[in-house]
Amino acid sequence: MSARTKARKRALDLLYSADMRQVPVEQLLVTEAERAAGEPERQKSWLYAREIVDGVVDHREEIDELITTHSRGWTLERMPAVDRALLRIGAWEILYNDSVPDPVAISEAVEAATVLSTDDSAGFVNGLLAAISHSKA
C-alpha cells in the first residue's frame, strides 16, 4: 500500500470518527499528531493525511454543496458516514490537489468504498466523483 493510500485511510478514519462521535475533527487531529510524532514510520503518511483533513475542513461548505448537487436525491445526512467521508476526500483531491490526477482520486475512493462500505457504495462514489470532476472543467 502506497504512502498516499495509507494517508487517505488515515484521513478517512479521522473524518469518519469525528462525524460518528460528533466532535470537531480538529480535536482528533491533535491526538493523531501526537501519535504520529511518536511513531516515525507513520510520519510520511501523516503529512498527507493532515493535508487532506485540513483541506476538507477549509473547503467543507463548497465540497458538501457539490456532493449534494450531484447526488441526485440523496442528502448528505442520508448517505452512509463512510461514503460521506470518502466523497469529501475524493472531492478535495479533485478540486484542490493538482498533484493527484482526477482518475486516481476517483479510483482510490471507489476502492475504499468497495472494501469499507455497502455493495452499492462503489458505484455511487464513482458516479458522484466523476460528475464533480467533469463539472470543474
Per residue in 64-117, pLDDT tens?
Answer: 999 999 998 889 999 999 999 999 999 999 999 999 999 999 999 999 999 999
Residue 60: which of 76, 80, 82, 78 has the closest Cα?
76
Q: Give the whole-angstrom CA distance, residue 32 versus residue 13.
A: 10
Place of cell 440523496: 74
CATH topology of domain 3-135: N-utilizing Substance Protein B Homolog; Chain A (1.10.940)
- Asked if the model's pLDDT at residue 18 lies above 90, the reply is yes
Each residue of 24-64: pLDDT tens digit? 998 888 888 877 777 777 777 888 999 999 999 999 999 99
What per-residue confidence (pLDDT) applies to 2?
Answer: 85
Cell of 70: 450531484
Domain locations along the chain? 3-135
What per-residue confidence (pLDDT) applies to 103?
Answer: 97
